[in-house]
Amino acid sequence: MNARVPSSVFQPEQALAEVSQRWDSDLVRQITDYIAIPAKSPAFAADWAQQGLLDTVLRNAAQWVEAQKVEGLTLEIIRLEGRTPVLFFEVAATQAHSSQTVLMYGHLDKQPEFSGWRNDLGPWTPKYEDGKLYGRGGADDGYAVYASMAAVQALKAQKTPHPRIVGLIETCEESGSYDLLPYIDALRTRLGEVALVICLDSGAGNYDQLWLTTSLRGMASGTLKVEILTEGVHSGDASGLVPSSFRIMRQVLDRLEDSATGRLLPASFHCEVPPERLAQARATAAILGDELYKRFPWAHYDCGGATSFALPTTTDPVQALLARTWTPTLSVTGADGFPTLQNAGNVLRPYTAFKLSLRLPPLVQADSAVAELKQLLEDNAPYQAKVTFESNGGATGWNAPDTAPWFEQALNAASQAHFGASCGYIGQGGTIPLMNMLSAGFPKAQMMVCGVLGPKSNAHGPNEFLHVPYAKKLTAAVAQVIASLPAPAAAA
């Protein structure tokens, strides 16, 4: 029988009041201070160690956690040589005879600034407005360590028995978490018997209910460079005889992508959507409808006084959801070899380089995709140009394990208690490398992957914000789910 701790042991209203007070009196201020520090991930700050900013945000978080004086808490910052540091904390179990572990995860490294911020906003100038805390990294994912500890404090405030709780906060997630696996290996015995993983680095379909992430896409990224000359030459003198590096780039990318539809051509980059995920997508599409595509900041124009939006690839809600969660997609996220428009003379450029970000369906292995991608792009270069693909690595996606009855009941109870609606299930198009690692290492664990990245929150882009009212309810919901974890004897 999958028994749960009786709901009378844990009072949701009290928990929400407790965490709301902490958010208002302390957490918003802590996260505001965090946003102001440009602690960019190593992929965007090669000199991160010299800058010391990742160390600063990690140390600040550690000092705050320690200052909470939570009963049974121990904490340390762990550093493996040559790798970004992690914060590891442990809260001793108060549940009798419990051998289980709840693992809480977050990260403190950030994406770069990007452009297009509102005039009164900026990536490192936090601003709290109408319940939204603007700035880089607050929602992705600096709030996680603070919310995790607030959830633990809510359990302590009610003296709710709980299993052992450990926290793992990394500083390399936005670079693909390439430093994380060595830490997991080093900490494996200290992690213990993980029964529940809580990852607060994901998104929400709306701000009206709790959302559980059921899948994540993987990623293969790297730089594709096409070189045809050793230096730039007069475009009038050479064009027509010397092929354009940009035209060669287009030919090479045509091997990978149908530019008319965006469909990736290699069959191995695709996979079948599992029936359960398809059913969940239909249910979620019925909830969110056209908000699935209207949530994005489409460029628009005015036609006869009526606003018309640029068209998405599909306006069918089910297909829109699947397109951004189970479909492989190529994005060009950066370019080199181009002068600015102001400085662009009549010169045939010697090379074109694109930074490619290839999102892979959850069931496609990233290492195989990276190898195939390199061979596909480099072999038999047009005009004998020098074509190179330098991989930045890859991360395999994730498909959630089967949901245990107690977990489904706990999610719905928490969502009803704090939002007045059932829990929603949604796939996400982003990548959290840790989840595939943890599913492989702890196959019996339930995975509460959720987060505050709802409509318009715009992680990685301009005007990123943390929706504080939603974060309060999510924090209380996390505490309630932990309280619902059945003891091993009850779960047998």
Reduced to 3 DSSP states, what percent helix, strand and coil does the chain have, rounded to the nearest 5?
A: 40, 25, 40
Tell me what pLDDT residue 3 has.
43
CA 59 vs CA 2, 112, 355: distances in Å: 40, 21, 33
| Cα(286)–Cα(205) distance, integer angstroms | 12
Taking the mean position of all CA atoms in its chain, how far away is CA 377? 28
- Helix, coil or strand: residue 311: coil
Burial of 375 (0-12, 13-18, 19+ CB in 10 A): exposed
Q: 84 near 170, Cβ under 8 Å? A: yes
Over the stretch 409-437, which tens digit does the pLDDT of each residue have?
Answer: 999 999 999 999 999 999 999 999 889 88
pTM: 0.90
Omega within 30 of 0 (cis) for the link into 290 = no
Least-confidence region, from 304-308, 310-314, 319-323, 332-336? 304-308
Residue with tokens 């994406």: 111
Which domains are present in the chain? 7-216+398-491 (3.40.630.10), 218-274+317-395 (3.30.70.360)
DSSP 86: E
Tell me what pLDDT residue 308 has.
59
Confidence check: pLDDT of 27 > 90: yes
Over the stretch 67-78, which tens digit does the pLDDT of each residue have?
Answer: 999 999 999 999
Over the stretch 154-184, which tens digit does the pLDDT of each residue have?
Answer: 999 999 999 999 999 999 999 989 999 999 9
